[in-house]
Amino acid sequence: MAMAEQVVTQERAKLIVVTRFDGERVAQEAKPEPKKRTPKKLPKVLSREEVARIFKAIKTKNPTGLRNYTAYILMYRCGLRVSEAINLSVKDVNFETAQVYVQQGKGHKDRYVPLDDETIEWCKKWLAIRPDSAGTKFLSTLKGTKLMYRYFNQSLWRLGQKAGVYIQNEQELGNMHNHIFRHCYATELLEEGYNLIEVQQLLGHASLNMVMIYAHLRPGELGKKIKSRKSTIPQKD
């Protein structure tokens, strides 16, 4: 094999051999195959009115309903993942400091999340009727066993159907999932003027890039601001 063809063989990832119309074989740079890009989808969020309809559909006069309401409000008002909510111990919810201590969240990271007054009141209502058999877990079955992730997902599906609230998945309307409350929490914080670093800290994200996606979820709010901008261009008659 000629030296030139050896080089071509060794560098096949970069070069290819082609035969020209006059019969001469030459090497030229190969065109790289286009990379397959993974579709980038924005997180789904609900409007504030839709969230209100979901919570209104929960019957809090029975222990199960009150417990579920408390779990969902921790996800919505504190941005907890469902796994973080069901792993809370009673001592992790501190009314004196108005904080939730999330231990070993995603990425095995601990963080503190502030509690607002409304969430504190619902947590207190649940603790007032929480059965003694529930052990150390803040949220558990009434028999004291650990709640499962899929239980809250299934419960939320039923609530969404009851309230007539769905999420749009491409061209179809689909059922909700627990993580949607966390998406709503982050989106509403940005709408209310919290900066990216504050939202990053509250969510426990490692990167600001993971927080910035929430700035794109309510284009209507951005449209209102654009519409109200004052123009500096002189008006013509």
Give the active site residue among 67, 77, 182, 183.
182
Known catalytic residue at 101: no
The Cα-based distances of 67 to 101, 135, 146, 214 in angstroms read 19, 15, 13, 29
Whether the predicted pLDDT of 98 surpasses 90: yes
Known catalytic residue at 106: yes
When comparing pLDDT for 100 and 226, which is higher?
A: 100
The Cα-based distances of 104 to 8, 129, 150 in angstroms read 53, 28, 20
Give the active site residue among 44, 53, 205, 218.
205
Whether the predicted pLDDT of 12 surpasses 90: no
The Cα-based distances of 66 to 25, 71, 91, 221 in angstroms read 79, 9, 19, 33
Give the active site residue among 81, 130, 137, 183.
81
Give the active site residue among 25, 48, 106, 162.
106
Known catalytic residue at 214: yes
Known catalytic residue at 179: yes
Known catalytic residue at 229: no
Give the active site residue among 72, 76, 185, 214.
214
Model confidence band, residue 102 (pLDDT cutoffs 50, 70, 90): very high
Are 82 and 149 spatial neighbours (Cβ–Cβ below 8 Å)? yes
Cα separation, 222 vs 66, in Å, equals: 36
Whether the predicted pLDDT of 106 surpasses 90: no
Break the chain into its structural domains and give their ranges: 48-215
Whether the predicted pLDDT of 66 surpasses 50: yes
Model confidence band, residue 7 (pLDDT cutoffs 50, 70, 90): very low
- Give the lowest-confidence range in 34-38, 113-117, 139-143: 34-38
What CATH number belongs to 48-215? 1.10.443.10
User: What pLDDT score does 43 carry?
Assistant: 75
User: What pLDDT score does 58 carry?
Assistant: 94
Are 209 and 233 spatial neighbours (Cβ–Cβ below 8 Å)? no
Whether the predicted pLDDT of 220 surpasses 90: no
Give the active site residue among 125, 179, 194, 218.
179
| Average pLDDT taken over every residue of the chain | 80
Known catalytic residue at 185: no
Overall average pLDDT of the 161-171 stretch: 78
Model confidence band, residue 112 (pLDDT cutoffs 50, 70, 90): very high
Overall average pLDDT of the 102-124 stretch: 90
